[in-house]
Structure 1
Amino acid sequence: MLSPTSWWIAVEPIDLRRGMDGLLTAIAMQFGHDGLAGGAYVFRNRSATRIKVICADGSGVWMCVRRLREGRFVWPRSSDRVCEIDAQSFAWLCTGVDWHRLCAKPLVGALV
């Protein structure tokens, strides 16, 4: 069962033809992290239609691929090369919705 301790996004697109070893190298170069330490690392292609996730679970490494039927993944815009998100934001990212606009906490005084 996958239960990463943290979620990290590479802000810049990457060539998704890279396999597991190539993405583990990218994790070390871009993030400065050990890709086998338990976090999940999310990469996208240039057109933002596909993502790959690398996650180590202690006994091996998982590589998952997701492609949307239509539309594009909404990606963070940042001057930083990497961005940390929570599991809920990752779940919304996977659906293709603009997860930046979603608020996990209800607004105080919001009208129902």
Structure 2
Amino acid sequence: MLNDFTGADKVYIACGYTDLRKGIDGLATMVQQQFELDPFSNTLFLFCGRKRDRIKGLYWEQDGFILLYKRLEQGAYQWPRSEVEVKMLTPQQYRWLMEGLKIEQPKAHKALTGLSMI
């Protein structure tokens, strides 16, 4: 379900370690107070524990929260650890993360903006 999640307009990840013992209320409070984002928006928020083999997702579905939990049987997520903040992912970065890749791919083509023929 998480690998092909398409219901959200945006996806944010909490960089660094998150205590995965937190439930819906704890994660929603973290989103609202620490990251100053709206947990009731059409946004998927992802959190990763210290071992990097499990993640939790928090998503508001009009009448209540959905708490998603995934544990990998082998391998680990390539989760950004250097920052203690939230980061918005592009759809491509989300796919990379779910496929076990880093969200920053140095060899990937970057989107170009501000181009002109003159």
Gaps of 5+ in 2: 111-118
Q: Deviations over 1:41-85 (max 9, x none)?
A: 110001111110101122221111111121110112554611110
Counterpart residue number, 1:110: none
Counterpart residue number, 2:46: 42
Return the match for 2:102 from 88, 98, 101. Answer: 98
Counterpart residue number, 1:85: 89
Gaps of 5+ in 1: 106-112
Q: 1:68, 1:96 within 8 Å by CA — same for their partners in 2?
A: no
| Whole-Å separation in 2 of the counterparts to 1:2 and 1:84 | 15
CA displacement at 1:96 relative to structure 2? 1.5
| TM-score, scaled relative to structure 2 | 0.76
Q: 2:14, 2:84 within 8 Å by CA — same for their partners in 1?
A: no
Counterpart residue number, 2:35: 31
Distance 1:18 1:78, change over 3 A: same
Q: 2:16, 2:79 within 8 Å by CA — same for their partners in 1?
A: no
**What is the RMSD of the two structures over their aligned residues, measured on CA atoms?**
2.3
Q: How many residues are paired up? A: 106
| Whole-Å separation in 2 of the counterparts to 1:67 and 1:77 | 18
Q: How does 1:60-75 map to 2 (within 5 A)?
A: 60-75=64-79
Distance 1:79 1:44, change over 3 A: closer
| Whole-Å separation in 2 of the counterparts to 1:62 and 1:103 | 33
Distance 1:15 1:72, change over 3 A: same
| Whole-Å separation in 1 of the counterparts to 2:85 and 2:103 | 19
Aligned residues with identical type, % of pairs: 30
| Whole-Å separation in 1 of the counterparts to 2:75 and 2:6 | 27
What is the SS of the residue equivalent to 1:100? coil
Structure with the bigger percentage of helix? 1
